[in-house]
Structure 1
């Protein structure tokens, strides 16, 4: 069996990190990069691994590359603190490492939103590229919505990561604010002038695509709330970009 490193980045994840860590304790190495948690996230992580590193926050892509730099095993599994590897996925990962048909693998993800598993609106199967041979890939330097960069073909696993995405409306609003702020600079860097109309039009389009074109309405009221939050994320991202552009001389 090839060895496998798990890499996780954290910030105040004490409510979810133990389930995540417990689901990957079968791996050879767990690496955690924490960016200043004020709860007991670090203490929980140290119960599972001695490879816990406390750093600043440079953004998602750079932080995951920091975690990757510590990985010493043959393969790497990158997961988020609010995700869990199911027993079925564990077995499939172990089988993939034995066969080594590909060097990169997508994993489907089943996400929950305010207590309901989402199957529509673009949330299912929601393939994420997370399993790869060490040295075959790295993360983009995007501050948010980072991606894995590689130059080889990838395979797809069938079993899912479970993802406790958003537990309640408070966490939804916090994520809308955090992600819209993180994505603002990308709009500004493109040099495109934006205003209130572009914020409204982009926000409405994301809601329409999520709720209608991607059948988010089939997920009931949670599907509607999720589509609204997706639209709000985009609306505020463009609105923040507008005011950022306006503040520059």
Structure 2
């Protein structure tokens, strides 16, 4: 295992702050190499947490780094925190196996981390998302993402999905260059991924005390479609914009339908326990 980076001295003129890249993955052999290639020789360390790959993913990863941990799957937030705990760089870039750092983005990051007067603690990086080899230029999948941050004191929220960065001081800026994002292998994968995220988020909401309803789920289908297709201008992305707007509307419906289903399931589970508790009391009343 490589040694952790040494304690930093003040920057010399033109010297870049150290940078760690974090990747969490499972069965990404068909696309992780492009991600690793975009980082290799540029970042100071690549840290990979794998949660049970069986397709040769780790054989590919070993060509680029020896900082590899094989673990269980505790959820997105906890897993990213595990990876973050191993990072030594002044700054951290967290990136997924389906993403690549473009040369333009690499240069912009270098320029930022060389700046001796850098006061920002978080950079948001726009996505260049592809759907069936065409770019989604508008809507949710074109918006900037929180991906590059100052490591000291940082952590991820322990959420199962849609985890967020928590910083002791948050001074954010948005980069111009884009992070290439090829999230979906095909239409079935697009659907499966959103279905899984919807269920995870519903469970998270349920544990936080939220409750759902089918009428509300149906309303969210309509409002989320309008928001994506019209208000966020996915209409300008042609048939791809129409498709992704429909998928995101369906995703919203699934979240709240799942939430209602979890509520009903919890009620059914609680009912027998309540009956067992009441049974001795009822028998005692009958004997009076």
- TM category (shorter chain) comes to over 0.9
Q: CA deviation at 1:165?
A: 2.0
Which ranges in structure 2 are unaligned for 5 or more consecutive residues? Answer: 1-15, 271-288
Question: Does residue 42 of structure 2 align to residue 14 of structure 1?
Answer: no
Q: CA deviation at 1:177?
A: 1.7
Question: Does residue 136 of structure 2 align to residue 84 of structure 1?
Answer: no
Which ranges in structure 1 are unaligned for 5 or more consecutive residues? Answer: none
Instruction: Select the structure of larger CA radius of gyration.
Output: 2
Question: Does residue 122 of structure 2 align to residue 68 of structure 1?
Answer: no
The partner residue of 1:218 within 236, 240, 252 is 236
Q: Which residue of 2 aligns with 1:181?
A: 199
Cα RMSD (Å): 1.3
Question: Does residue 30 of structure 2 align to residue 32 of structure 1?
Answer: no
The question of whether the paired residues in 2 share the 8 Å contact of 1:166 and 1:172 is answered with yes
1:66-120 CA-to-partner distances (Å, cap 9, x unmatched) read 1100001221111111110011111111111111242221111111122210011
Question: Does residue 157 of structure 2 align to residue 140 of structure 1?
Answer: yes
1:136-172 CA-to-partner distances (Å, cap 9, x unmatched) read 4211111101111112312222111110122321111
Aligned pairs (5 A) from 1:1-249 = 1-25=16-40, 26-99=42-115, 100-124=118-142, 126-150=143-167, 151-248=169-266, 249=270
Q: TM-score, normalised by structure 2?
A: 0.83
In the aligned structure 2, how far is the partner of 1:228 from the partner of 1:177? Answer: 13
* Aligned CA distance change for structure 1 residues 134 and 190 (closer, same or farther; 3 Å): closer
Look up the SS of the partner of 1:130 in the other structure.
strand
The question of whether the paired residues in 1 share the 8 Å contact of 2:119 and 2:171 is answered with no
The question of whether the paired residues in 2 share the 8 Å contact of 1:105 and 1:132 is answered with yes
Q: How many residues align?
A: 248
Q: CA deviation at 1:213?
A: 1.4
The question of whether the paired residues in 2 share the 8 Å contact of 1:23 and 1:85 is answered with yes
In the aligned structure 2, how far is the partner of 1:33 from the partner of 1:219? Answer: 35
In the aligned structure 2, how far is the partner of 1:170 from the partner of 1:122? Answer: 20
In the aligned structure 2, how far is the partner of 1:193 from the partner of 1:179? Answer: 17
Q: Which residue of 1 aligns with 2:274?
A: none
In the aligned structure 2, how far is the partner of 1:193 from the partner of 1:139? Answer: 25
Look up the SS of the partner of 1:197 in the other structure.
helix
In the aligned structure 1, how far is the partner of 2:20 from the partner of 2:139? Answer: 32
Bigger CA drift: 3-12 or 165-174? Answer: 165-174
Q: TM-score, normalised by structure 1?
A: 0.95
Bigger CA drift: 187-196 or 224-233? Answer: 187-196
